[in-house]
A and B are shown apart, each in its own frame.
Chain A
Amino acid sequence: SEVRDANAAMLSNYEVYQLLTDLKEKRKEMVKNKHSTGQQNLNTIMYETLKYLSKTPCAHQNPDTVKKFLTSMLPHKLTKAEKLQLLNHRPQTAVEIQLMVEESEERLTEEQIDELIQKVTDVLPGDPQKEADASADPEMETDQ
């Protein structure tokens, strides 16, 4: 095969998670085909990738939250790659933001970093199970 463009577009984890979830549904109907010898590789990579992504923030995202998130990011003048990382990771601390935003000391004040954390936390859903555990335990301190 010939590669025309090795980098036609960047995909968020959410987009890949959706694609694989939809493909998994479609293939459930094709019982005979998905077990044929040639399909083992696809089965394996789909299973492992879904397993990995299901434990990340993208598993709780939907098209509306992604759109809302990108809109909320407009005033911060972040690059595509930076926004993508914030979307994929949902960072909760300043040190994580600093890892994902290049030259953050020059581009973001402490207040702006806190603002980013707040937006990311408010707009992107967290893991409902983890948040239930956190609020149930009276001894745990929250960052907010």
Chain B
Amino acid sequence: MFVLVEMVDTVRIPPWSFHRQLNDAIAEELNKKLANKVVYNVGLCICLYDITKLEDSYIFPGDGASHTKVHFRYVVFHPFLDEILVGKIKGCSAEGVHVSLGFFDDIIIPPESLQQPTKFDEAEQVWMWEYETDEGAHDLYMDQGEEIRFRVVDEVFIDTSPSGPSAKKEGPSAAATAPPAGAEDSAQQKEAPYTLIGSVSEPGLGLLSWWNS
């Protein structure tokens, strides 16, 4: 679920940090900038792996800080398509089952990707698998806190950078993922920059307790 990403960036070191080892100061700045942040179309950044190249440091007129172009590798959370992961059920809604890994929270298993037949219990706000055996149907509830094994079937990256002062957001990425017309109230909701879509509709997937002997 983790990959190494090669990146290049210019790092600014303020004068009061000049006494520090350049590599340490740069490592700190890179982690400050990227750790726990989603890079569009790349994934959730975890921490710096290493610095592969430091170019010359420059000081520009008007700014006492040094600027250094850095080539580095970063550890990023980015599961591959079809990867199997284990997480915990955060809760259920009409949209499906929400799963979390603790360090990453935006995983959704839509109703059509649950073990079929499935039903949403409105009162309990929980999805259940109406499992048929010879003895009749068992309702297997997808309860909050339960460990769940799922397959990654899709990912959605949304560009959440500020879109400027125009009245309605109509940027290219927003158009591709825009909610249907009339959903102005959902514009108030913070959309996750990176969402994983999961599926549990295969033998072995779903709650771990369903499959443990």
- The residues of B that contact A141 with a CB separation of less than 8 Å are 213
- The residues of B that contact A44 with a CB separation of less than 8 Å are 36
Please pick, from A4, A11, A88, A102, the residue contacting B7 in the complex, using a CB distance under 8 A: A4
Q: How many residues of B contact A (CB 8 A)?
A: 47
Please pick, from B6, B34, B36, B44, the residue contacting A8 in the complex, using a CB distance under 8 A: B6
Q: How many residues of A contact B (CB 8 A)?
A: 44
CA–CA, A33 to B29, complex, Å? 11
Please pick, from A1, A16, A41, A143, the residue contacting B213 in the complex, using a CB distance under 8 A: A143
Q: Is B54 in contact with chain A by the CB < 8 A criterion?
A: no
Q: Are the C-beta atoms of A41 and B2 separated by less than 8 Å? A: no
Interface string of A71-110 (1 = CB under 8 A from B): 0000000000100010011000101101110100000000
Please pick, from A15, A38, A52, A56, the residue contacting B32 in the complex, using a CB distance under 8 A: A38
Whether A8 touches B4, Cβ cut-off 8 Å, given contacts A19-B49, A48-B102, is yes
Q: Is A111 in contact with chain B by the CB < 8 A criterion?
A: no
- The residues of A that contact B46 with a CB separation of less than 8 Å are 16, 20, 45-46, 49
Chain A positions within 8 Å of B, measured between CB atoms, are: 1-13, 15-16, 19-20, 23, 33, 38-39, 41-42, 44-46, 48-49, 51-52, 56, 81, 85, 88-89, 93, 95-96, 98-100, 102, 141, 143
Chain B positions within 8 Å of A, measured between CB atoms, are: 1-9, 28, 31-37, 39, 41-47, 49, 71, 73, 75, 77-78, 80, 82-84, 86, 101-103, 149, 151, 202-205, 211, 213
